[in-house]
Amino acid sequence: MALELIPMEKCTLESGKMLFLDHIVDVTLDLQSRLNVQTCTIWNAPIIWDGMFDAALYDEAHKRKNSSVALTVFAVGKYLDAYLETFLHSSEQHFMLGLPVTYYIFTDTPKKVPVISLGPNRSLKVMEVASHSRWQDISMTRMKSISNIIETEIRHKFSHVFCFDVDQEFTGRFGSEALGESVALLHAYYYRLPKSMYTYDRNPNSKAYMETGDFYYHAAVFGGRWKRVKAIADACYQGIVEDKKNNVEALWHDESHLNKYFWRNKPTRLLSPEYCWDDSIGHTSDIRVKRLIWAPKDYKNLRPNV
């Protein structure tokens, strides 16, 4: 299969040590260009901040490699009217420009999906899903739908998948520098806080339970090669199903399970909170470019009976 490429690039250093990279172009990352933030994990995965990468180089490398990206997003109930149009319009301006992109929109009301004009090599597919009366179930069944669509369709057409919350707006480049084997996002609220403040699930009866971890990851954005994203979605969904059997629900639902997965299976690439910022946090010089921002929350009107 042309698209199923070598999972990670291996590169032998002069010392004989092996370096594992998501892509050979990662040797050009400048980890020293940002002095006040962490740019690399202890397991040697890069944390992508503005200034570290040459965007044109990444685009060229991924074009040569025929990388292609499926984007999944859920817009169920009132979330469709409230957020989908802004999400898609902004994504057309900023998400993976220059690479083939297909949006997979999961909704309970296909007819209401806005008609927007798409750039070349970009397309959109609408998938109908049931609406759940409990909001916790809407967010948790996402993992099952993501796994299914990867298995039936995405794996045959795309090298990578990114999964997004819909309540966000792209405001800057979100490009091929974000592609990797498995990609996790540092949560804007926690990246500067001590681990003791991370809101992992602390109930030993939940499959998402963890005492400690590396970072607190945000479930609003995750991705990677299709095979890995399927493994992520399957693992999270299994955890959720087990929890249901035992009558427990993890503290932050699918996000808690995602954090557990990435603790046991380290992501190969981390995105800085520049890739999903909340403006209500206020100004910080850490954030040089806001690439994606949270839309204002309006839980009172948007969420079905809590």
Footprint on this chain of ligand 5GW (rule: CB under 6 A): 73-77, 79, 135, 138-139, 165-167, 220, 303
Pick the closer one to ligand 5GW by CB: 196 or 301: 301
The listed partner (ligand 5GW, Mn ion, none) that binds 303, CB under 5 to 8 Å by sort, is: ligand 5GW
What is the Rg, in whole angstroms, of the alpha carbon atoms belonging to the chain? 19
105/142 Cα distance (integer angstroms): 11
260/5 Cα distance (integer angstroms): 27
Total binding residues for Mn ion by CB under 5 A?
2
Pick the closer one to Mn ion by CB: 75 or 150: 75
The listed partner (ligand 5GW, Mn ion, none) that binds 139, CB under 5 to 8 Å by sort, is: ligand 5GW
Q: What residue is closest to ligand 5GW based on CB?
A: 135
The listed partner (Mn ion, ligand 5GW, none) that binds 178, CB under 5 to 8 Å by sort, is: none
Q: What minimum distance in Å lies between the beta carbon of 73 and ligand 5GW? A: 6
Q: What minimum distance in Å lies between the beta carbon of 203 and Mn ion? A: 23
Q: Which position among 22, 26, 59, 167 is part of the footprint of Mn ion (CB under 5 A)?
A: 167
Q: Which stretch binds Mn ion (CB under 5 A): 11-19, 151-159, 165-173, 283-291?
A: 165-173
The listed partner (ligand 5GW, Mn ion, none) that binds 249, CB under 5 to 8 Å by sort, is: none
Q: What minimum distance in Å lies between the beta carbon of 72 and ligand 5GW? A: 9
Pick the closer one to ligand 5GW by CB: 45 or 71: 71
Contact 187, 303 (CB under 8 A): no
Pick the closer one to ligand 5GW by CB: 36 or 133: 133
Q: Which position among 50, 165, 255, 274 is part of the footprint of Mn ion (CB under 5 A)?
A: 165
Q: What minimum distance in Å lies between the beta carbon of 256 and Mn ion? A: 15
Pick the closer one to Mn ion by CB: 167 or 243: 167
The listed partner (ligand 5GW, Mn ion, none) that binds 138, CB under 5 to 8 Å by sort, is: ligand 5GW
How does DSSP assign the chain, residue by residue? -TT---SSEEEE-TTS-EEEESSGGGGG--TTS-SSS--B-TT--BEE-TTSS-HHHHHHHHHHTT--EEEEEE--THHIIIIIHHHHHHHHHHBSTTS-EEEEEEES-GGGSPP----TTEEEEEEE-PPPSSHHHHHHHHHHHHHHHIIIIIHHH-SEEEEE-SSEEE-S-B-GGG--SEEEEE-TTTTTS-GGG---B--TTSTTB-S--S--EEEEEEEEEHHHHHHHHHHHHHHHHHHHHTT---TTTHHHHHHHHHHHS--SEEE-GGGSB-GGG---TT-S---EEEPPP-HHHHS---
Which among 140, 70, 139 is positioned nearest to 105, based on CA atoms?
A: 70
**Residue 300 CB: number of other CB atoms within 10 A?**
7
Active site residue 242: no
Pick the closer one to ligand 5GW by CB: 146 or 270: 146
Q: What minimum distance in Å lies between the beta carbon of 92 and ligand 5GW? A: 18
**Catalytic residue list:** 255
By CB under 5 A, name the binding residues for Mn ion: 165, 167
